[in-house]
Structure 1
Amino acid sequence: MKWFVLLGLVAFSECIVKIPLTRVKTMRKTVSEKNMLNNFLKEHAYRLYQTSSPGSNITTHPLRNIKDMLYVGNITIGTPPQEFQVVFDTGSSDLWVPSLFCTSPTCSTHVRFRHLESSTFRPTKKTFRITYGSGSMKGFLAYDTVRIGDLVSTDQPFGLSLAEHGFEDTPFDGILGLNYPNISLTGGIPIFDNLKNQGAISEPVFAFYLGKSQAKGSVVMFGGVDHRYYKGELNWVPLTQAGDWRVHMDRISMKRQVIACSGGCEALLDTGTSLIIGPRRLVKNIQKLIGATPRGSEHYVSCLAVNILPSIIFTINGINYPVPARAYILKDSRGHCYTAFKENTERPTETWILGDVFLRLYFSVYDQGNDRIGLAKAS
């Protein structure tokens, strides 16, 4: 059976559509930093582009990495196409961008959808709200043609925001959710499912390679897996239940001692989250173990500690996934070092969110057809 799976991956890797991603910083920023970012974006105007490998159907179409925190890519909506920069997010299921009706100050700093200029636009009277870890929005549901590189979803349901909170100074216009349809809050069919239903992709699979720097081309790929982005074999992990990118994690350990998830727990793989988030009590214990001290909303350590702190190991489906100190210690704009662990509100069951700090190290494949996630060391 394993060989059939491998042959399948080889066969459909020739039809992959790859979207470039950019890594960006979530903005707790000073005015001067804002101006620097705006100037940077003007000087490095980002446009959709694609390159095809000679002799294959693979289309490469860049995610942009803005300042070491978030990964964003470009899509278009409408006829003729209007371009938006969005977060490709495995933690949610809905696509939305700002509307011309949005009254929040945030919307004036982002690209807004000009509905009157699209001949394929179709509005509805349905309204909805979405709350994320870092902000919230309310809006209404509409339909139009959405393009992700060469992939085209016609009559795609998407949200248009009327109000946004918490997205001030963020370098993205909206969010494109890649989770299962059952957690959609707009009630529309997610774009990945629409692409699958319309026969635009050969397999119900997408994957992320999140580069560690601007130079390393980050991508999200649809329809298959390009093996050049990872080393060794893909380790497949079944979802705890179909309908959410959530798996069972065996334990979290450091220096051979279990430091969290002692009886097993749940882990969500979330490309829309930059850090590693866990229950308050357990995160506090990890901060103590690595000698981090609280200051403001972060926990800081000496930058020299990167060379001496041990790896923290996340064991999933019997396989160890080490996260070394150079990955879980980050540097702020003043050159001070803080940890990538963040406290979550307590849930009934112990749940960890493994964000980009983890996913930069491990190439991740989201196989909706078989309700499983594949992980391998990133190239």
Structure 2
Amino acid sequence: MRTTLFALATIAQLALLVTADPEPYKIPLYRRSSGGGIVTASGKALDNGVLAGTIQIGTPPQEFTVAFDTSSGYSWVRGSRCKSANCLDRCTYYARRSSTSQPTGKKFSVKYGSECVDTEIYLDTVDFAGLKVQNMPFGGAYRMTGFADGFDGYLGLGPSINFNNRTSSKLTLGHFSKRDDTLSSSAFVANAYQQDAGVGSSQFGMYTTDNGAGFSQDGTSTTDTSLPSTTDSTTTTNTTSTTVAAAATSSTTATTDSGVASGGFGFTKRQTTQDVAGYLVIGGIDTTAIEGTMTYLSLAQQQGEQQQSWSVCLKHAKIGHPLPFADSGLLATISTSSPLILVPHAAAFQHTYGGKYDSATNTFHIPCSEIRYLPPLSLTLGEEKITVQLPAAYWTQKIDDKTCQVLLGQSPDHGWVLGAPFTNALYTTFDADNARIGLAIKKGNTNKDLTLSE
């Protein structure tokens, strides 16, 4: 009897091992200022806060540094036909050098506010941190306008674009139309899950390790406080995560004065030795990095030919008191690729609090001494009516000893874009299977004025 019970217990344990979901991938990410160090609020006004990683495309692999884009599910890098000025100094995808490349003969365009890219669609193998997706649709850019330096393209982490049953070929921050032939879905994480590449779900999240607010309300620098360090394999109450370490190699330690630096698995292109600035978690949630539980917001329902995006309903917005751009019924797109919070009628901030508009950066400049007087940005989001209170220290940054930058810019349309100042303040997770976005306060948060409440 004892032998029988032992055998049954062994079989049960083996069954659990077989059926258990794979551990979430926890991939370290990096960023840096023009001086080569980790980006802080005192760094120069580059695309601060935008995290990037290294991917490989093709056979043999071609390496690229990409910014993570949650506004769309379309990935692209510079193609060999891209000769415009904005294409220069970026790594190039050569389709003819890859034995697994398949040109589709189709084109696709994406507009991100003032930036635009025109691409040719290819199918090829895309590898990120050991997660390999075969025959993934992505773009080889043949024209780029308005993009900052420091990266070669975008890795699309938005909801998958359905290339089929469409009638036009433009995408604007998640608003899409065209495709009359059959191509697989485009989003990297969804593809990795569907192809059984080693992730247990299509859910993914991002968080930065810096828990300071950048600089204090009087405009002076604050000390960065990082999340507790984790080991390569971390077991928690609700989930287990595997950290994919970034391995430095002597042949890939070139440096550059770029606004973002690569991270990911096994490569340090455009990266000097530096601390981890954040993590991309694929296939679940890193519960060791959050306070309490995750708060979820349902994705907004979008009509007609609009492609589903990471957008939620914006119920109310204010900075001290309601402002004219706080219109009801607006959508707010959660975008990790935007360095700003974009709002309609951004001039309302200037009318209320002063400052000088800088058209080159689409931001406002104010004396650093006035930051202490700025109220928090308060946003009520989703049908759940969750309120996020974001102190001014998260959406302002220091340019020099006297001048600070307000990271609120003019939206190209009537919607909001909640970029890096918002997403980097919180742990943000994206759950396509359940059509929702999760927000949580990061563990070790040092600014108690940052709140998340119902």
d(CA) in 1 for partners of 2:407 and 2:336?
Answer: 15
Query: How far apart are residue 367 of structure 1 and its match?
Result: 0.5
For normalisation by structure 1, the TM-score amounts to 0.78
2:98 matches 1:118: yes
d(CA) in 2 for partners of 1:134 and 1:71?
Answer: 20
Query: How far apart are residue 67 of structure 1 and its match?
Result: 6.4
Asked if 1 retains the 8 angstrom alpha-carbon contact of 2:72 and 2:309, the reply is no
2:320 matches 1:320: no
Percent of aligned pairs sharing the same letter:
29
d(CA) in 2 for partners of 1:295 and 1:165?
Answer: 19
2:247 matches 1:267: no
Query: How far apart are residue 134 of structure 1 and its match?
Result: 3.5
User: Alignment partner of 1:23: what SS?
Assistant: coil
Asked if 2 retains the 8 angstrom alpha-carbon contact of 1:231 and 1:378, the reply is yes
Asked if 1 retains the 8 angstrom alpha-carbon contact of 2:290 and 2:427, the reply is yes
Query: How far apart are residue 151 of structure 1 and its match?
Result: 0.8
**Superposed counterparts of 1:320-339, under 5 Å:** 320-332=387-399, 336-339=403-406
Larger radius of gyration: 2
Residue of structure 2 in register with 1:196 after alignment: 193
CA offsets per residue over residues 189-225 of structure 1, 9 Å max, x none? 2122321221222112011113447745312111100
CA offsets per residue over residues 98-132 of structure 1, 9 Å max, x none? 12222223333111113333221222211222222
Q: Structure 2: 5+ residue runs without aligned partners?
A: 1-19, 39-45, 163-173, 211-223, 225-273, 303-307, 444-454
More strand as a share of residues: 1
Query: How far apart are residue 264 of structure 1 and its match?
Result: 5.0
Q: Aligned partner of 2:204: which letter?
A: F
Q: Structure 1: 5+ residue runs without aligned partners?
A: 1-10, 26-32, 45-65
Q: Aligned partner of 1:152: which letter?
A: K
2:355 matches 1:292: yes
Query: How far apart are residue 361 of structure 1 and its match?
Result: 1.0
Kindly report the root-mean-square deviation, in angstroms, between the aligned alpha carbons of the 2 structures.
2.6
- Relative to structure 1, the CA distance from residue 292 to residue 157 in structure 2 (aligned partners, 3 Å threshold; closer, same or farther) is same
Residue of structure 2 in register with 1:276 after alignment: 341
Q: Aligned partner of 1:246: which letter?
A: S
d(CA) in 2 for partners of 1:343 and 1:288?
Answer: 14
2:125 matches 1:158: no
Residue of structure 1 in register with 2:299 after alignment: 239
More helix as a share of residues: 1
Q: Aligned partner of 2:149: which letter?
A: T
d(CA) in 2 for partners of 1:374 and 1:353?
Answer: 16
Query: How far apart are residue 186 of structure 1 and its match?
Result: 7.8
More RCO (CA 8 Å, sep 6+): 2
**Count of residues in correspondence between the two structures:** 326
Stretch deviating more after TM superposition (190-199 or 223-232): 190-199
d(CA) in 2 for partners of 1:186 and 1:152?
Answer: 27
Stretch deviating more after TM superposition (206-215 or 96-105): 206-215
d(CA) in 1 for partners of 2:427 and 2:375?
Answer: 22
- Relative to structure 1, the CA distance from residue 263 to residue 133 in structure 2 (aligned partners, 3 Å threshold; closer, same or farther) is closer
Asked if 1 retains the 8 angstrom alpha-carbon contact of 2:369 and 2:402, the reply is no
d(CA) in 1 for partners of 2:70 and 2:284?
Answer: 16
Asked if 2 retains the 8 angstrom alpha-carbon contact of 1:21 and 1:73, the reply is yes
CA offsets per residue over residues 313-335 of structure 1, 9 Å max, x none? 11223332111121121223686
Asked if 1 retains the 8 angstrom alpha-carbon contact of 2:50 and 2:339, the reply is yes
For normalisation by structure 2, the TM-score amounts to 0.66
Residue of structure 2 in register with 1:207 after alignment: 205
